[in-house]
Amino acid sequence: MRRAETQLWRLQETLPRLWTNESWLSAEQVLDLSSETSPSPNPSPGSVQSNVDLSIADLLCQMSTAVPVDGTDIDMTAALPELSWDLTTDSGWLDILPETPPVAEDSPDSLPNTTLTLYTPSLVPDMTSPHDKALLNHYSNIVASVLSRHPNTASNPYLSYLVPMAVSNQLILHCILALSATHWQKLQPDMRDRALYHKGQATQSLAGLLPHVDGSSVDVALVSCLLLCMSELFDGTSAGWKLHLQGAKRLLSTVKSQTSGNLAGHFKFFVKLARFLDSAATTSTCKPPLIDDKTVATSPEPTEDSSNDDAAVYGIPKELFHMVDRVNNLASKRGTRVDEASEALFREEAERVQGRLDNWAYDYGGLAGAVASLSPTNDDVLHATTAYEWALRLRLHQITEGYSLTEKVFECVQHILDSAQKIRYGSPLESCLLFPLVMAGGACNCLEQRMVVQDRLMIMERTCGFGYVHQSRELVETVWKRRETESMVNWARIRYEEMGGLALY
């Protein structure tokens, strides 16, 4: 496994050179940058051998030598017994046929009860590894449902868009299997090797594709980048997602130039997914997102499919989710507070961000209208939205005022926990609670609130399954432990210095 990790690291080291060069490297140059390729534990079989039974071939040959009978020699008016039905002249070929088993004289009730089995062909007939078959099944039935935050499981773009592409493209299939193995590796440690193998194969194939990306392959390259980014981001211990986000931005620029803003349905979903992942990473980078409105062209007319995709990707209104971009953009400017004048400018911008946060749902007529645009009958959407809004308010307060535990901090924590506890265990909206729970956990100071945060994160480790949930729980528990000896604990510094691969969203 260490050898596989080393090979994957070498392949990932080539990606910054691919994304930053003016022209893509060739596949041969990429392979030269990596000293050796990842061996496949299941080499593809050679040419297919014929499995025709020789006895059947003999049968066909001997039948062709039978003596022909001239139809004109037969008297059709003769009586039936007088006709010659002699087959003894060339009936030796009958000896090779199996004997017909005798018909049982018993009653039908004594016959064995047998049933017919319907044969279902595999979607990926070339897949021979039982581990990979299990991983594809795991993605289709478990992982895709975890990824979608839409309460309606009938419309899941992680299935309807990605699985057909995986069936028809080996690169995307490797990415899907890597993501599935990443989700499963905590409960099934053997799957970690499969995750490393498929990541290595996908990274190598993507490196070979990038120098030749055109209009017919840009969607494959973009989806591969996003899936590899998700594998790294959801693992919670790797910072490799940063490189894939940079690649996604460049590919989105290519999509924009080639489509002139007229995106097909699946492209619109990929754009939303890319922007979601980019914003999710800003809490880790404390910088503005890489992808903005100038990078991609968005459709101004909402449709039913686009609303379903929004619900599947974001879970909560995307206008509120992308407020995290402005909050973390403000965080990137904390170093400019060097004198009274710069402090005043910083606080002015903080007030503007606060004003936007107070009025984010104005275009919908308020919070109720914004929530109804996604799911008018699901209260979990309302509670998840409320928890996320208060988490943003708490984060904005920390960026502006610091990490002291004040009355305003306790107010935010209580609102977050009240909303989080109203969302049922296993809800599709449960994954929207990670950022609010970490914000509340990093600021709460009583045992009762800590137990609520810890219990919910432990539940989410099983219902969500990805490693970044476990890493988030370790982060808040580290904050609690250090608060026993320190008056003020900066959870963001702990995450930055000790958990660099963890992104909270």
222-248 pLDDT, tens per residue?
A: 999 999 999 999 999 988 898 999 999
Q: Write down the pTM of the prediction.
A: 0.76
Decide if 468 contacts 236 (C-beta within 8 A).
yes
Low-confidence winner among 102-106, 151-155, 194-198, 375-379 (lowest mean pLDDT): 102-106
Decide if 504 contacts 435 (C-beta within 8 A).
yes
Cβ neighbours for 78, distance < 8 A, ≥ 6 positions apart? none
Decide if 466 contacts 234 (C-beta within 8 A).
yes
The pLDDT of 166-175, averaged and rounded, is 95
CA distance 182 to 466: 7
Confidence of residue 15 (pLDDT cuts 50, 70, 90): low
Dihedral sign from CA coordinates of 6, 9, 13, 14:
positive
Radius of gyration of the chain (CA): 31
Residue from 478, 299, 327 nearest 389 by CA: 327
Pull the structure tokens for residue 497. 């210095």
Per-residue pLDDT tens for 38-55?
Answer: 444 444 444 444 444 444
Report in angstroms the alpha-carbon separations of 420 from 153, 390, 455, 473: 22, 11, 12, 16
**Which pLDDT belongs to residue 152?**
77
**Which pLDDT belongs to residue 500?**
84
pLDDT at residue 62 is higher than 70: no
What separation, in Å, do the N-terminal and C-terminal C-alpha atoms of the chain show?
30
| Residue type at 403 in one-letter notation | Y
Decide if 258 contacts 296 (C-beta within 8 A).
no
Residue from 417, 421, 466, 423 nearest 444 by CA: 417
Percent of the chain with pLDDT over 90: 57
**Which pLDDT belongs to residue 346?**
97
* DSSP-derived secondary structure for 382-409: HHHHHHHHHHHHHHHHHHHH-S---HHH
Per-residue pLDDT tens for 289-327?
Answer: 988 777 665 544 455 567 789 999 999 999 999 999 999
**Which pLDDT belongs to residue 215?**
81
**Which pLDDT belongs to residue 127?**
78
Residue from 179, 302, 285 nearest 230 by CA: 179
The pLDDT of 207-223, averaged and rounded, is 90
**Which pLDDT belongs to residue 101?**
52
Residue from 319, 325, 310 nearest 278 by CA: 325
Per-residue pLDDT tens for 76-116?
Answer: 444 444 444 454 545 454 454 455 555 455 554 554 555 55
Pull the structure tokens for residue 488. 């003020």
CA distance 294 to 473: 36
Say how many C-beta atoms besides its own lie within 10 A of residue 384's C-beta. 28
Dihedral sign from CA coordinates of 463, 464, 466, 472:
negative
Pull the structure tokens for residue 388. 């996320």
CA distance 79 to 493: 106
CA 49 from centre of chain: 38
pLDDT at residue 29 is higher than 60: no
- Residue ranges per structural domain of the chain: 1-10+129-313, 316-505
CA distance 324 to 503: 12
Pull the structure tokens for residue 28. 């041969």
- Rounded to 5°, the CA angle 199-203-205 comes to 120
* DSSP-derived secondary structure for 146-211: HH---S-TT--HHHHTHHHHHHH-HHHHHHHHHHHHHHHTTT-TTHHHHHHHHHHHHHHHHHHHGG
CA distance 34 to 203: 11
Residue from 230, 213, 222 nearest 276 by CA: 230
**Which pLDDT belongs to residue 142?**
95
**Which pLDDT belongs to residue 2?**
57
Residue from 454, 448, 446 nearest 472 by CA: 454
pLDDT at residue 36 is higher than 70: no
Instruction: Report the helix count and the strand count for the chain, using DSSP H and E.
Output: 24, 0
**Which pLDDT belongs to residue 303?**
58
Per-residue pLDDT tens for 258-286?
Answer: 765 556 668 889 999 999 999 999 988 88
The pLDDT of 421-431, averaged and rounded, is 95
pLDDT at residue 464 is higher than 80: yes
Decide if 374 contacts 311 (C-beta within 8 A).
yes
Say how many C-beta atoms besides its own lie within 10 A of residue 495's C-beta. 23
Percent of the chain with pLDDT over 70: 71
Quote helix, strand, coil % in the chain, to nearest 5: 65, 0, 35
CA distance 465 to 492: 23
Reported residue count of the chain is 505
